[in-house]
Amino acid sequence: MEITNKVGLHVRPASILVEIARKFKSDVWIERDGKEANGKSVIS
């Protein structure tokens, strides 16, 4: 999935993404400008 909003994810949509991602056993990573964050944690 690609997020095209230049300012990234806001808190509410990010929380929804995390809630959905946590239902799966796989790892979920979000990347921007070479930096990675855990897609199963809003704090990352």
> DSSP string spanning 1-44?
-----TT---HHHHHHHHHHHTTSSS--EEEETTEEEETT-S--
Whole-angstrom distance, CA of residue 39 vs CA of residue 14: 9
Per-residue confidence at 32, pLDDT binned at 50, 70, 90?
confident
Whole-structure pTM value: 0.71
Q: Which amino acid is at 35?
A: K
Please state, rounded to an integer, the average pLDDT across all residues of the chain.
89
> In sequence order, what are the beta bridge partners of 35?
32
pLDDT at 1: 75
